[in-house]
Amino acid sequence: NAGVTQTPKFQVLKTGQSMTLQCAQDMNHNSMYWYRQDPGMGLRLIYYSASEGTTDKGEVPNGYNVSRLNKREFSLRLESAAPSQTSVYFCASRRDLNTEAFFGQGTRLTVV
Amino acid sequence: EDKVVQSPLSLVVHEGDTVTLNCSYEVTNFRSLLWYKQEKKAPTFLFMLTSSGIEKKSGRLSSILDKKELFSILNITATQTGDSAIYLCATITNSGYALNFGKGTSLLVTP
């Protein structure tokens, strides 16, 4: 019973490099989310997907793109990484408006 | 703009103390408020509150929502060192799918 799985767990990038963070859920949830967490800032929403085939911007979308590949998978791409994107990234999923969100274990990304 | 404000931002208590964490909100078309506990890694779900005045309880933790005054509290009685964590509050609206989080309260319980 995996829940929400994120890969990789840790990553170091050089400024300007690109990478994709992967997220998959096995709970047949409709909505999926990408958050970033910085010290003292709580969780800030980057992008979300309310259902398969749709994506929408959150509070801090600049510098990121997403793909809802299918109902299970929601990826986050950094096209040209910047030091300001150093953060812990969490993927989450939720069945519907009446239920809680479940979180993955996070990806710690450092951009040097 | 929707706001979720948690207080205090950090708190240090001794084992056995009772703590109250606060979460106030200004949210358009409010639906529910959620509490999460975050230790080393992923936030884990504690409570979802939708109706005003109905207490949710799980062991030493309890929470209540006041929709008139727009706040919720999370109480932890007889605290233990294992309660040390960041406690996050989030709101859900009827018109959107996202959870909007506050900045969290960092709780440290000392032996």
In degrees and rounded to multiples of 5, residue A84 shows phi and psi of: -65, -15
Helix (H, G, I), strand (E, B) or coil at B74: strand
Mean pLDDT for B21-31 is: 94
Beta bridge partners of A35: A45, A90
Sign of the Cα pseudo-torsion (B51, A103, B96, B69, in order): positive
Residue A1: pLDDT band (50, 70, 90) is: low
Residue B86 C-alpha, separation from nearest chain A C-alpha, in angstroms: 9
Residue A10 C-alpha, separation from nearest chain B C-alpha, in angstroms: 12
Beta bridge partners of B30: B93
Residue A53 C-alpha, separation from nearest chain B C-alpha, in angstroms: 15
List, for residues A86-108, the tens digit of each pLDDT value.
999 999 999 988 899 999 999 99
Q: Which chain A residues contact residue B41 at CB under 8 A? A: 105-106
CA distance A108 to A91: 12
Tell me how many residue pairs between chain A and chain B have CB atoms under 8 A apart: 54
CA distance B109 to A24: 35
pLDDT at B53 over 90: no
Mean pLDDT for B12-32 is: 96
Q: Which chain B residues contact residue A97 at CB under 8 A? A: 31, 92, 94, 97
- Closest CB to B103: pick one of A42, A56, A92: A42
pLDDT at B64 over 80: yes
Q: Are B99 and A101 inside 8 Å of each other by CB? A: yes
Q: By CA distance, what is B46's nearest residue in A?
A: A100
Q: Are B41 and A58 inside 8 Å of each other by CB? A: no
List, for residues A43-74, the tens digit of each pLDDT value.
999 999 999 989 999 999 999 999 998 999 99
Q: By CA distance, what is B106's nearest residue in A?
A: A40
- Closest CB to B97: pick one of A40, A48, A100: A48
Peptide bond into A83 cis (omega under 30): no
